[in-house]
């Protein structure tokens, strides 16, 4: 009798607390994919880091207008497990500026962009995240993102890190391609090709007539629209040449490794300093 009672009690427990059947591992790293109960179970007790990717829609030579969205989202998915982070839904509209007149591009003025991103960051803080990693894909919004990240950290006592992947990895670009990078040049083309080769349309590439070097010194001249959609940081350097998938993947792996290392190192140092 006693055994039957125990068995009945155990069976009842499983009926009352079906949560015991829920996996210990989170079912997805994307906030988009989680329900509120699973989210509550993991954040912030087991996961207190979130990656927010930010990009824009902007003409990029013969690669996709959404290259600045494709790349940070790709990197986020590659590192989220290793840094124990969730990935917030991506922000695809940004401060495009001088390339916005090209077909399919889209510009958000700085003020609404700042206000919107600020609201998203506050929303992430309110959801319990202590570490917010902003993974940016687009240059002209760097000042806005850096000042917002600092503001949110100081005001809400959370830790923020902004990563501009193509600047962080400029030495890797130079080492692997033997030249400086740029906008829609060797570096971005390789990243997009590694993530989705179908987005790189070599058949549309007509050579150096598609590129213009950024003025050096920077304010020597300016033009809107900028006369080309491939922008060289150093004149005559960065034009995509190497079509090899293996080389694109090698570059991608090195970029991902660098971003992962910076995030891991920063998280660990915040922790050691008592900020986590």
Interaction site with Zn ion (CB under 5 A): 67-68, 188
169 close to 255: Cβ distance less than 8 angstroms? yes
55 close to 92: Cβ distance less than 8 angstroms? yes
Identify which of residues 158 and 195 has a Cβ nearer to Zn ion in the complex.
195
Identify which of residues 67 and 121 has a Cβ nearer to Zn ion in the complex.
67
Identify which of residues 156 and 205 has a Cβ nearer to Zn ion in the complex.
205
What are the Cα distances from residue 124, in Å, to 31, 73, 128?
Answer: 11, 17, 7
237 close to 170: Cβ distance less than 8 angstroms? no
Identify which of residues 86 and 191 has a Cβ nearer to Zn ion in the complex.
191
Omega before 62 cis (within 30°)?
no
Identify which of residues 176 and 191 has a Cβ nearer to Zn ion in the complex.
191
Going 154 to 156 to 160 to 164, the CA torsion angle's sign is negative
107 close to 140: Cβ distance less than 8 angstroms? no
In the bound complex, what is the minimum distance in angstroms from residue 272's beta carbon to Zn ion? 35
In the bound complex, what is the minimum distance in angstroms from residue 68's beta carbon to Zn ion? 4
In the bound complex, what is the minimum distance in angstroms from residue 275's beta carbon to Zn ion? 32
- Residue number with the smallest Cβ distance to Zn ion: 68
In the bound complex, what is the minimum distance in angstroms from residue 138's beta carbon to Zn ion? 6
In the bound complex, what is the minimum distance in angstroms from residue 91's beta carbon to Zn ion? 15
């Amino acid at each position: 009798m006693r055994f039957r009672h125990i068995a009945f009690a155990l069976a009842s427990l499983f009926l009352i607390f079906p949560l015991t059947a829920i996996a210990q591992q989170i079912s997805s790293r994307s906030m988009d994919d989680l329900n509120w109960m699973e989210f509550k179970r993991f954040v912030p007790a087991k996961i207190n880091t979130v990656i927010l990717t930010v990009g824009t829609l902007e003409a990029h030579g013969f690669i996709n207008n959404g290259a600045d969205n494709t790349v940070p989202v790709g990197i986020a998915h590659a590192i989220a497990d290793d840094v124990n982070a969730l990935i917030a839904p991506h922000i695809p509209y940004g401060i495009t500026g001088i390339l916005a007149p090209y077909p399919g591009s889209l510009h958000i003025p700085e003020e609404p962009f700042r206000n919107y991103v600020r609201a998203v960051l506050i929303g992430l803080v309110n959801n319990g995240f202590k570490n917010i990693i902003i993974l940016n894909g687009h240059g002209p919004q760097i000042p806005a993102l850096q000042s917002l990240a600092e503001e949110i950290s100081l005001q809400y006592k959370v830790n923020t890190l902004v990563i501009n992947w193509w600047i962080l990895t400029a030495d890797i670009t130079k080492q692997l391609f033997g030249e400086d990078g740029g906008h829609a040049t060797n570096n971005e083309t390789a990243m997009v090709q590694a993530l989705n080769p179908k987005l790189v349309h070599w058949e549309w590439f007509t050579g150096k007539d598609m590129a213009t070097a950024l003025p050096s010194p920077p304010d020597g001249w300016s033009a809107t629209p900028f006369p080309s959609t491939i922008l060289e940081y150093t004149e005559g350097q960065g034009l995509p040449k190497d079509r090899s998938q293996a080389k694109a993947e090698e570059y991608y792996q090195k970029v991902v490794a660098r971003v992962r290392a910076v995030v891991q190192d920063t998280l660990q140092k915040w922790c050691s300093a008592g900020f986590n």
